């Protein structure tokens, strides 16, 4: 699916800047910050500002086209993968990794049966990633 159609499917009106930002999120699975996205795109889009990146990401999150991650207390990061999954933050290299979260579907059904309407799940893990652990040995 093209990014243009992807944005439309979430009720977001596509623009050059919105398409570029969503393309970046979908192509770079690094869980970037606003600063990361701005620095990556500002040379190609001279009219881009950090405020535009912030407002665009906020719009994407509100429409369900992206996730806002608050796993790192110092930074907010974004994920273009809106499927149900968990995140792992390495305390040494500060990279964020995707992890499966299959058990959460059962919990959501349980909440829904008790009258709760679950709209979001944020499952975060913190520790040391395999690469950093191998460096320590």
- Give the pLDDT of residue 108: 67
- Domains in the chain, CATH or no CATH each: 3-70 (1.10.10.10), 85-136 (3.30.1490.190)
pTM over 0.75: yes
Cα 113 to Cα 36: distance, rounded to the nearest angstrom: 41
Specify the 3-state DSSP secondary structure of 36.
Answer: helix
Q: Which helix (H) or strand (E) holds 39?
A: helix 34-41
- Give the pLDDT of residue 101: 79
- Give the pLDDT of residue 133: 94
Residues 10-35 pLDDT 10s: 999 999 999 999 999 999 999 999 99
Cα 16 to Cα 7: distance, rounded to the nearest angstrom: 12
Residues 36-52 pLDDT 10s: 999 999 999 999 999 99
- Give the pLDDT of residue 103: 67
Phi and psi, residue 118, nearest 5° = -75, 125
Residues 60-117 pLDDT 10s: 999 999 999 999 888 899 999 998 899 999 999 999 999 987 666 666 666 666 777 7
Q: Which helix (H) or strand (E) holds 68?
A: strand 67-69
């Amino acid at each position: 699916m093209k990014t243009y159609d992807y944005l439309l499917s979430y009720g977001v009106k596509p623009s050059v800047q919105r398409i570029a930002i969503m393309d970046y999120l979908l192509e770079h699975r690094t869980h970037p910050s606003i600063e990361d996205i701005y620095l990556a795109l500002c040379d190609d889009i001279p009219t881009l500002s950090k405020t535009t990146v912030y407002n665009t990401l906020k719009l994407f999150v509100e429409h369900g086209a992206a996730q806002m991650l608050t796993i790192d207390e110092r930074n907010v990061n974004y994920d273009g993968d809106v499927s149900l999954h968990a995140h792992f933050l390495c305390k040494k290299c500060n990279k964020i990794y995707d992890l499966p979260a299959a058990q959460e579907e059962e919990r959501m059904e349980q909440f829904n049966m008790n009258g709760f309407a679950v709209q979001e799940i944020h499952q975060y893990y913190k520790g040391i990633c395999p690469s950093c652990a191998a460096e320590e040995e």
